[in-house]
Structure 1
């Protein structure tokens, strides 16, 4: 067993480390995360929204421990927001000060303004910096960024370095553990995938989701916990616009407990569906007779 705050030396130690951080990982995920850390390779996590991909990076950062550097991807994300940007105001001020001091060598002035002190670090470059110690770099929801942005990541993911044309190549003294997540709203390019160790993060089965609830919602009545999990598992098997993730399961269970529920009943379930589901069409489809049917099935399965 690996002590808290040290890198795991086996797959089982990785699984236990994640569990200490409140993340219940299956054997395949623990294996992939262990290999990514041991081999110094980026970890590419793909899966439906709400399956806990982002949480893995947060737990790894907290337990290793390492500083967490997060890049939240979005449509239109470019290099200046993701990696670095020159501080043009400070550069202009430096030029004026040099001219006021009588400096006439324009080439020297230009070399002086393209100095590291004028470079504003964004998440990708900040993750390579030695300041603050080793990092976990979370590139979250890469599929939300434009496809051309992926080309910016290739050098970083292959060699953990970024080339700044005016300055040169900046390399990480200690490479970060890079964790990339995708909700698969579009396909991420093969060039990114080849540089990473891949794992598909699926919704947990009933046993693992019960274990998650036990950690994240301690004190929940056993009967309520079992019925909530069985109910949510059945909802995920239905035709809904947005299936509930693990976070919604936790929130819903805590909401029912706050209403002093000891087991699932049609009234409280119908009244709290907005915690579990996030679209009105889904809520309207589930509320009433369908919810009552799933409650009955959940009770029967939980009792068995």
Structure 2
């Protein structure tokens, strides 16, 4: 696999896939690739953490293996489980054939029952058994229970999983691992120490403009500017959940679908549900903040 040789090459590689990142994020990714370390990304929802892993896999033309985390995850859902149905078939066949006569026969049967052929591979084990380094995305780790952090330590530090019946399964082509978290809980320090860390910020106005132009085609340049400036100003408010870049893209696409040529109070009011996902935030914007932001944009000559 040909990896980018510099930070600039990382920027260009991602930009070719329409992912525009700042230099700090590009540097973190370059170092993770160069040093063969997992990259741990934290940040607000919608800033492009998950999208980075998807884009990197596409740019490197390699497999993306995604483990979506949630409460209650265990080894059977994340790493492997034994194919119990197939094991039972093997036992019944051996019994029907009267193939078990002594301890040696029983040992042979036990060996076949707990062989690699009997494993059902889940994303973590799949990532270690690929012939070519995949991108392993461990998404929203903060949604999983704390004990899961400890289970990941062996995978992250040694690129292997120990299966009691088989021993250690070690990757011949180690995965490129990206872990994301929205920081709804603190991730264990031992896990973080095994990774390179980066906090993904909201983009500045110009970079968000460039992103939205690529991801939401069809708007006028004036509408692009108004939409991005409006969302940037919203993020300075004390909202429960500020809109991310993903919401800016969705909102711009919604404005285009409505044939909007410019922002106005009615259009903003009718489409707040695209930007905000909590009623208290929507009520606040409808209570005067929308008009205030539009007045500010008008004072800056961004609105007619």
TM over 0.5: yes
199-208 vs 286-295, which moves further? 286-295
Residues 1:83 and 2:79 aligned together? yes
Q: How far, CA to CA, are the matches of 1:108 and 1:52 in structure 2?
A: 51
Residues 1:40 and 2:39 aligned together? no
In the TM superposition, what is the alpha-carbon distance from 1:181 to its structure 2 partner? Answer: 0.3
Q: How does 1:29-178 map to 2 (within 5 A)?
A: 29-101=25-97, 102-104=99-101, 105-131=105-131, 133-178=132-177
Query: In the comparison of the two structures, how many residue pairs are matched?
Result: 299
- Consecutive unaligned residues of structure 1, counting only runs of 5 or more, are none
Runs of 4+ in structure 1 deviating by more than 4 angstroms, as ranges, are none
| Helix, strand or coil at the partner of 1:287 | helix
**Aligned-CA RMSD value:** 1.5
In the TM superposition, what is the alpha-carbon distance from 1:215 to its structure 2 partner? Answer: 1.0
In the TM superposition, what is the alpha-carbon distance from 1:302 to its structure 2 partner? Answer: 6.3
Q: How does 1:1-304 map to 2 (within 5 A)?
A: 6-101=2-97, 102-104=99-101, 105-131=105-131, 133-287=132-286, 289-301=288-300, 303=302
Could you tell me whether the CA contact under 8 Å between 1:42 and 1:197 is conserved in 2?
A: yes
Could you tell me whether the CA contact under 8 Å between 1:15 and 1:25 is conserved in 2?
A: yes
In the TM superposition, what is the alpha-carbon distance from 1:234 to its structure 2 partner? Answer: 1.0
Listed one character per residue, the Cα deviations across residues 209-262 of structure 1 (whole Å, up to 9, x for unaligned) are 111111111232111111111110111111111111111101111111222222
Could you tell me whether the CA contact under 8 Å between 2:218 and 2:256 is conserved in 1?
A: no
User: What's the TM-score once normalised by structure 1's chain length?
Assistant: 0.95
- Consecutive unaligned residues of structure 2, counting only runs of 5 or more, are none
Q: How far, CA to CA, are the matches of 2:301 and 2:251 in structure 1?
A: 17
- 1:204 to 1:301, Cα distance in 2 relative to 1, 3 A: farther
